[in-house]
Structures are given as C-alpha cells and as structure tokens.
Amino acid sequence: MKRLKILCFASMLIIFMVACFPMASKTIRALPVETKQQILAQYNTEQLKEGEQLFINNCGSCHKLKAAETQTPERWNKIVKRMIPKAKLNDQDGMLVRAYLIANAKDE
C-alpha cells in the first residue's frame, strides 16, 4: 500500500513538472546558434513576414511583445527555444518566429 502511494505521488510530480516546464521539441533544441546572415540565406521575405505575424499573434499573451530589435541574434537563439513551447507553437511556426526575430535583431 505504501508503495502504491509513493508511485502515485511520483507520477503526479512528473505530470506537474511536464505541465509547468514545457520543453521545446528535439528539432527546436537541436537548432544551431545562427547569425542574421545565416537566417537570411535560409528564409525568404514571405516566410519572415509570416514569422512576424505568428510572433504578433502568439508572443504577447503573457507579457508585452518584446520587439525583435531589443535583443541580439545570440540572445534570441537562446530565448526563443524557451518561448516556443510556452507559446505552444509547432516546430514549423516556431522556426518562422525565430527566423523573423533573428533577422530583425539588433546588431551585436
């Protein structure tokens, strides 16, 4: 009986941790640190526009939108990996938001 209780508690703890600390998918976590130039070589204007729209629609519900120009590409590379799961974006949309932010980031 005691074992069952411990098991029950352990599973609740795991569920709680998964729910409260969402993790980016493997694809997102594996993305390399990219510079503006690397991003601009991979995404066209259309995709960057879509990324901007996704950013506006999904990134302002918990805090004010933090404009792309407020962070360096290096910072966005890190921050976005944390925020994509918070915004519940799928990998494809998440990568577009990331591309938009890095492409418009402030210079180092």
Q: Is 45 in the site for ligand HEC (CB under 6 A)?
A: no
Please tell me whether residue 96 binds ligand HEC under the rule CB under 6 A: no
Report if residue 83 touches ligand HEC, rule: CB under 6 A. Answer: yes
DSSP string computed for the chain? -HHHHHHHHHHHHHHHHHHHS----HHHHTPPP--HHHHHHH--HHHHHHHHHHHHHHSSSSS----GGGS-HHHHHHHHHHHHHHTT--HHHHHHHHHHHHHTPPP-
Tell me which of 84, 99, 102, 105 binds ligand HEC, using CB under 6 A.
Answer: 84
Binding residues vs ligand HEC (CB under 6 A)? 58-59, 61-63, 66, 71, 79-80, 82-84, 86-87, 97
